Amino acid sequence: MTVHDLSRRLLLKGSTFLFASTVMPKIAFAQAPGGRLVVAADSEPKNLNPAIVASNGVFFISSKIVEPLAEASYDGPEGLAPRLAVSWEGSDDGLFATFWLREGVTWHDGQPFTSADVAFSALQVWKPLQNLGRLVFANLEAVDTPDEHTAIFRFSKPTPFQLIRNALPAVTAVIPKHVFADETDIATSPKNNQLIGTGPFKFAEYRPGEYYRLVRNEDYWGEGLPKLDEIIYRVLPDRAAAAGALEAEEIQLAAFSQVPLSDLARISKVDGIVVYTKGYEALTYQLVVEINHRRKELADLKVRQAIAHAIDKDFVVNTIFLGYATASTGIVPKNAPEFYDPSVPTYDFNVETANALLDEAGYSRDANGTRFSLKLLPAPYFSETRQFGDYLRQALAKIGIDAQIVNNDSAAHQKAVYTDHDFDLAVAPPVFRGDPAISTTILVRSGIPAGVPFSNQGGFQNGKLDALIDKANTTVDTAERTELFKQFQRLVAETLPLINVAEWGFVTVARSNVKNVSNNPRWAVSNWADTEV
Amino acid sequence: MKTVSRLIRSPEGLAGLILLALPIAAAIFANVLFPADPLSIAGPALVPPFSDPAFPLGTDRLGRDVLAGLVHGARASLAVGLAAALVALAIGSLVGTVAGLAGGLADEVLMRVVEAFQIVPGLLLALAFVSVLGASLPVVVLAIALGAWTGPARLARAEVLSIRERDYVASARVIGMHPAEIAFREVLPNALPPVLALSSVIVAGAVLIEAALSFLGLGDPNTVTWGAMIAEGRNVLRSAPYLSIIPGIGLVITVLGVYFFAEGLNNALAVRGIRS
Amino acid sequence: MSSIPVLLIVIVGTFFLLELAPGDAVDAYLVTIGGGDPALVQALRESYGLDQSALVRLWVYLTSLAHLDLGWSVQFGRPIRDLILERLPNTMWLMGAALALSFTLGSLLGIIAGARPGSVFDRFFSIGSLALYAVPSFWLGLVLIIIFAVQLRWLPTSGIETIASGKTGLARAIDITRHLVLPVSALGLIYLALFLRMMRAGMAETWRQDFVLAARAKGLARRRIVLRHVARNALLPLVTMLGLQAAAMLGGSVVIESVFAIPGFGRLAQEAVAGRDAPLLIGIIIVSAVLVLIINLLVDIAYALLDPRVGASEGRA
């Protein structure tokens, strides 16, 4: 065989291989009036099942396929709109919660939706497997199903219905029993990524690194819904890419601030593009300085107060968030009016006060003007958390604290802060999920084992605060429980286990032909049944 | 000294020196010109260039002085480039010389290691390395050097192989010099010039890899580098393009300067090589 | 066969590098789900076998690799072979086209520049290409997107093809080509300088060689000398360079694929590092090593074809 022959063969072989391995989905689309909505997605969740993984990245896609018992609403009673449940009620002793379910609902495979599905989801998935449900349904003992459309949750200990109600949108995605019952390991089942639900859209296709495609559910229970024929999530990992794709009309919508805040002023002036700042009220992210109380300087309340005084919240809101955020007063955000208490002690921006407090605490400046040095770990998840890290370093320098920033990727940050406690200060973006007991009290409660992300790993311990949290967890009376959380907020503000700096919702940018955007407080992670193009 | 004068007289060498003069001067006098921390917030955010005499080149997203960043960035970027090139050259020439002199199994093993590093894409290696050890300047330097030392190693080995058979090495062996002594006193100095010529490519490449790592979020946050400035500026590329263009110009000048300088040096050395 | 010990070094090296990493696949996963309690964390570690010692896991990995099984990706929950086969073609198109672009354009401009050293052409292209070389690839990519995709709308902003378009055959080939123009330019233009300068230097050298001097003495036309004798000989080192640049371009594609949202190898590697997915990263590195080896084989063949003095067997040495 001559060399020439060889090279030609190699080339030929190579090219057939190339063509064979890029087989394309051959689908023809009927372009009905409903139309197609193409949205940007910046991540590809590994497990798409919202019943197991209650996170916004998963909900963003799966909430269109799998529905919860109720969704958040601007005008509904108790801030809720019914979905798979039409009404609900908790018993006075906190031991029962009854849900009356919607009738005439079918799964995407044609099977009827019944109370057995709810019982299965609650007992086999939410309680044992779900990251948030494990907490909310910790004392769930059984789910009785007296008929096909009634589910009665029985608890071994009093469980406040206020908590369950507030948790409904995030933790109660119902999955079909007949699909998952036979799986040996539900958590790792491949069916988690071939979701069957009751939602307005059916899962159609996933091309890793390229797109997810959902198609209209013709048999959806909502009359005349959904309005769209198809939703395509186009994977755009680089955040700078979404703005360009929107302007080039390759995508029609980018949620979760995929268009960087710094680009909003410009893009809002582009014809045919609308910027929405509503629709994230129930998904409030909080900008928090986590403190390692094992450091002797930081164990001193005066030092923590000094740090709180050193942070110019207006600068953070106006320069880092460009106004798309609110300064925090405490650990419960303003977006949770049911619990929010504005009368907590606050720490105004005052460098002199901060310096005086540090002098008082006995940390005087050395020849370089430095009192002591700290290791600062900004969470890498958002550009704003990193920028705030840069700002905090400068703010601390003004009061004589030398902060060295440590940049880690997600996994390393996770390990350093929440497992190894190898930090002095960290910047974190926890989420407030409608009730302080879901993911907020964990930020300050003591006794949480190492390794739990977004929890108190700073070694802070306050018996009074722990007692308040525990009492609220078993207080059934709504007014009484709310009052306990107000005390909780005040105590957190007084003792400063962490410093709340700002709270923000995201921004959605869409082409102007997309209708009914941001019409509920969890819009990006709701079902989009009424969205039109 | 002759080499230097030849360098200055060659058009490339002169152009290189002129281009490099600016960033080098900036690097040397950074602390004199801008004694404050270049990362400190000096004024309002996003002041455009040439609009405020206090900030001739404007300010960035947080209100940091772009000119101060540019000047201090010259220092960090050049330091990263030179350090990475030095480390790569040191490791590479050491491994290459040892492999070339020792021969046999040692050579075989060392060259397999060199090949192993060669087939792994450099940026990928740097990415993994920095993720693992954390983003700080020394780690970044080492990560870049890890992807760059194989070139010098191969070159050094090839030079050693060709030199070791020459008369003066053979005579050194005859008079009973220790192999290591031969290596460092006779072989290495002679193998060095072509290896040094490679260094310009490494310096330029290092500055760029540092930029790519910053883009991927793996730069050192406590130091300003041009790469980090460009990477940060890309988020406001549409509304404040100057934030990435200004450090970009610095980068282009430096890389051009290094290249011209290296070419001039190459020519100067080549002439010397022929004469000796 | 000699590449097996090399691959083994790469595998073990990569494995222990990721072993040193703070945080494992479970830590990376927990971030994406927004938290979990200790029992969940423990259960996850057990189900991925992460509770076992590093040596046990390395041994398990190597034995399955001996059976040509690349293993299972923790992060994607899929066989690594499938993941790689899915992404490989995209990167090969990107890399192949970028290499071809920088090689042909580079050598072409190199010939023009080298034919008349010191001319305006020479200065312009030599300096211009170097300036391009000094631009970070991600920045060049972003600027190309803004100009050609957003402002002029000539080309798509990102992706490898129009999503779910149902195009087949020629229409699809054209679609993919349109998507590749910008990323290939961003990647290829940067390496242009290397080939251009090498060609130019090679030509300068060849001009001085005896057979060229003889040809010039014979009074052959300048154009003929340039193309027949000088350029052809100067091309040889470029071909070798092509092989050497293959690994570098594979690395460069990490960034370009991220900017242009191309589901390729480089992005998979980035995701593997971020997700602490050691088997996946090792799989990628093995396959890219094999890819580099194949490219070098092709380069050797090309070398043999170009230079009649070198036999095929010598060329491979």
pLDDT tens per residue across span C53-63: 778 878 877 88
Q: Does A387 touch chain B (CB under 8 A)?
A: yes
B119·C270 Cβ contact <8 A: no
Q: Does A26 touch chain C (CB under 8 A)?
A: yes
The pLDDT assigned to C37 comes to: 64
Pick among C17, C24, C30 to test the A interface (most A CBs inside 10 A): C30
What is the least distance, in Å, from the CA of A417 to any CA of chain B?
A: 14
Residues above pLDDT 70, as percent of chain B: 87
B2-275 is classed in which CATH architecture? Orthogonal Bundle (1.10)
Q: Tell me the pLDDT tens digit for each residue of A510-528.
A: 999 999 999 999 999 999 9
What is the least distance, in Å, from the CA of C278 to any CA of chain B?
A: 10
Q: Model pTM?
A: 0.84
- More confident call, C278 vs A70: A70
Pick among C32, C170, C290, C309 to test the A interface (most A CBs inside 10 A): C32
Size of interface B-C (CB pairs under 8 A): 121
Report, as an integer, the average pLDDT of A14-40.
53
- What are A276's strand-pairing partners? A508
The pLDDT assigned to B13 comes to: 81
What is the least distance, in Å, from the CA of C122 to any CA of chain A?
A: 34
- More confident call, C72 vs A498: A498
How many other β-carbons are positioned within 10 Å of the β-carbon of residue B14? 15
The pLDDT assigned to C1 comes to: 45
A409·B218 Cβ contact <8 A: yes
Who among A243, A319, A408 is closest to B134 (CB)?
Answer: A408
Element (H, E) at A206: strand A201-207
Who among A263, A394, A412 is closest to B131 (CB)?
Answer: A412
The pLDDT assigned to A492 comes to: 96
Domains, chain A, ordered by start: 3-65+199-280+507-525 (3.40.190.10), 70-180 (3.90.76.10), 284-504 (3.10.105.10)
Question: Cα(C111)–Cα(B260) distance, rounded to whole angstroms?
Answer: 20
With CA atoms as reference, the chain A residue closest to C25 would be A411
Q: Tell me the pLDDT tens digit for each residue of C91-148.
A: 888 988 998 899 899 888 888 887 777 788 888 887 888 888 888 888 888 888 888 9
Who among A262, A263, A319 is closest to B63 (CB)?
Answer: A319
Q: Does C20 touch chain B (CB under 8 A)?
A: yes
What is the least distance, in Å, from the CA of C75 to any CA of chain A?
A: 7
- More confident call, C131 vs B164: C131
Burial class (CB in 10 A: 0-12, 13-18, 19+), A222: middle
What is the least distance, in Å, from the CA of B220 to any CA of chain A?
A: 7
With CA atoms as reference, the chain A residue closest to C299 would be A7
Q: Give me the residue spans of the domains in chain B.
A: 2-275
Burial class (CB in 10 A: 0-12, 13-18, 19+), C67: exposed
C250·B124 Cβ contact <8 A: yes
Confidence of residue B270 (pLDDT cuts 50, 70, 90): low
Confidence of residue A4 (pLDDT cuts 50, 70, 90): very low
The pLDDT assigned to B187 comes to: 64
Who among C258, C269, C293 is closest to B124 (CB)?
Answer: C269
Who among C83, C172, C261 is closest to A235 (CB)?
Answer: C261
A407·B63 Cβ contact <8 A: no
What is the least distance, in Å, from the CA of C170 to any CA of chain B?
A: 33
Confidence of residue B117 (pLDDT cuts 50, 70, 90): confident
Ordered DSSP codes for C248-308: HHHHHHHHHHHHTT--SHHHHHHHHHHTT-HHHHHHHHHHHHHHHHHHHHHHHHHHHHH-T
End-to-end CA distance of chain A: 61
Q: Tell me the pLDDT tens digit for each residue of A472-510.
A: 988 999 999 999 999 999 999 999 999 999 999 999 999
The pLDDT assigned to C190 comes to: 83
Contact A437, A137 (CB under 8 A): no
Pick among A349, A368, A370, A409 to test the B interface (most B CBs inside 10 A): A409
The pLDDT assigned to A506 comes to: 93
Question: Cα(A283)–Cα(A265) distance, rounded to whole angstroms?
Answer: 23
Q: Does A411 touch chain C (CB under 8 A)?
A: yes
Contacts of A58 in chain C (CB under 8 A): 33
Report, as an integer, the average pLDDT of B61-84.
90
Contacts of B121 in chain C (CB under 8 A): 247-248, 250-252, 254, 288
The pLDDT assigned to A16 comes to: 38
Torsion of CA C18, C22, C25, C27, to 10 degrees: -170
Confidence of residue A20 (pLDDT cuts 50, 70, 90): very low
- More confident call, C232 vs A175: A175
The pLDDT assigned to B177 comes to: 74
Q: How many CA atoms lie within 13 A of A386 on its CB side?
A: 20
Touching subunits for chain C (3+ Cβ pairs under 8 A): A, B
The pLDDT assigned to A13 comes to: 42
Is 90 exceeded by the pLDDT of residue A199? Answer: yes
The pLDDT assigned to A364 comes to: 93
- Alpha carbon B131 to its chain's center: 21
Task: State the average pLDDT for chain C.
Answer: 79
Touching subunits for chain A (3+ Cβ pairs under 8 A): B, C
With CA atoms as reference, the chain A residue closest to B223 would be A405
CA angle C290, C292, C296 (to 5 degrees): 115
Q: Does A409 touch chain B (CB under 8 A)?
A: yes
The pLDDT assigned to A15 comes to: 39
- Alpha carbon B218 to its chain's center: 18
Angle between helices C278-306 and B104-119 (to 10 degrees): 100
> Could you report the predicted ipTM of this complex, rounded to two decimals?
0.78
C27·A414 Cβ contact <8 A: yes
Least confident of A16-25, A32-41, B157-166, C54-63: A16-25
Phi, psi of A485 (to 5 degrees): -70, -25
The pLDDT assigned to A365 comes to: 93
A411·C274 Cβ contact <8 A: yes
- More confident call, B205 vs A177: A177
Phi, psi of C186 (to 5 degrees): -60, -40
Q: Which of B:46-105 have CB within 8 Å of A?
A: 61-63
What is the least distance, in Å, from the CA of A394 to any CA of chain B?
A: 6
Pick among B124, B214, B225 to test the C interface (most C CBs inside 10 A): B124
The pLDDT assigned to A297 comes to: 95
DSSP A238: S
Least confident of A23-27, A279-283, A364-368: A23-27
Q: Does C54 touch chain B (CB under 8 A)?
A: no
Element (H, E) at A165: helix A161-171
The pLDDT assigned to C202 comes to: 78
Question: Cα(A69)–Cα(B194) distance, rounded to whole angstroms?
Answer: 73
What is the least distance, in Å, from the CA of B41 to any CA of chain C?
A: 25
Confidence of residue A101 (pLDDT cuts 50, 70, 90): very high
Q: Which of A:229-248 have CB within 8 Å of B?
A: 239-240, 243
What is the least distance, in Å, from the CA of C195 to any CA of chain A?
A: 23
Question: Cα(A256)–Cα(A260) distance, rounded to whole angstroms?
Answer: 10
Least confident of A348-357, B119-128, B241-250: B119-128
CA A208 vs CA A46, A66, A212, C267: distances in Å: 10, 21, 8, 11
Encoding tokens for residue C109?
């401009």
Encoding tokens for residue C86?
């899915």
Q: Does B127 touch chain C (CB under 8 A)?
A: yes
Q: Does C21 touch chain B (CB under 8 A)?
A: yes
Q: Which of A:182-211 have CB within 8 Å of C?
A: 185, 187-188, 190, 193, 205, 207-211
Encoding tokens for residue B44?
């309002």
B132·C130 Cβ contact <8 A: no
Least confident of A220-224, A252-256, A271-275, C136-140: C136-140
Confidence of residue C22 (pLDDT cuts 50, 70, 90): low
A380·B234 Cβ contact <8 A: no
